Amino acid sequence: MKTKIKEYRAKNNMTQLELAKEVGVRRETISFLEKGEYNPSLKLATKIARQFHVSIEELFIFEDSDLD
Amino acid sequence: MKTKIKEYRAKNNMTQLELAKEVGVRRETISFLEKGEYNPSLKLATKIARQFHVSIEELFIFEDSDLD
DNA sequence: TCCTAACGTTAGAAATATATAACATTACGT
DNA sequence: ACGTAATGTTATATATTTCTAACGTTAGGA
């Protein structure tokens, strides 16, 4: 899975810690997410997408090969 | 969280078991999901949305109160 | 250079999604 | 009414996300 979290964070001049607080998780969670190291819950994905006013699909990109 | 999985399953004449097999989970998982009893992984949500050719946001509806 | 903020990363605990197996119930066709 | 498919539901096990605490690295400002 790829994600544009880092890009949108930059656009909004936001640090990992700030984003983490906004969406109620730890900074490390954001760090791992940005690296695509895990597959967030839909709830967390929804919170982050809303934070940036974008769709989930815009923020998280799944290749077909990611869906096995 | 609310979901339209059941509706889309009906539209497509699909049983829980068939959907479960398509997206690679157990029938019970679909059953619990349809009842909004838990919060799927983004990967699973993506698979189900693609199965029905709809967006994740169309299929899974979060009220603000669901996001606490 | 020193200090600090931001980010990377690791290891283990805690929480929760999902699997598994089993049984109950509902609905529908014959 | 019977048989069967579809769904509901429970309990326990397993897998994975997320938390927590800690330490390392990098970049920038004073």
Q: At how many degrees (to 10) do helices B42-51 and A42-51 cross?
A: 90
CB A16 within 8 A of CB A59: no
Domain extents for chain A? 2-67
For A6-37, how does the pLDDT look when each residue is reduced to its tens digit (9 = 90+)? 999 999 999 999 999 999 999 999 999 999 98
With a pLDDT cut of 90, the percent of chain B lying above it is: 96
Mean pLDDT of chain B: 97
User: How far is CA A41 from each of CA A38, A48, A56, B26, rounded to the nearest angstrom?
Assistant: 9, 11, 12, 18
Q: Place domain A2-67 in its CATH homologous superfamily.
A: lambda repressor-like DNA-binding domains (1.10.260.40)
Chain B: give the shortest CA distance to residue A48, in Å: 11
Question: Would you state the structure tokens that stand for residue B43, as one six-digit string?
Answer: 């990967």
Q: What is the pLDDT of residues A33-58, one digit of tens each?
A: 999 989 999 999 999 999 999 999 99
The 8 Å CB, 24+ separation contacts for A26-32 are: A30/A5
- Position A40 scores a pLDDT of 98
Q: Which residues touch strand C (CB under 7 A)?
A: A 9, 15-17, 27-28, 31-32, 34-35, 41; B 24-26, 28-29, 32-33, 38-41, 43-44
Residue A65: band (very low, low, confident or very high) from pLDDT cuts 50, 70, 90? very high
DSSP state of A39: -
pLDDT bracket for residue B68 (50, 70, 90): confident
Reduced to 3 states (helix: H, G, I; strand: E, B; else coil), residue A5 is helix
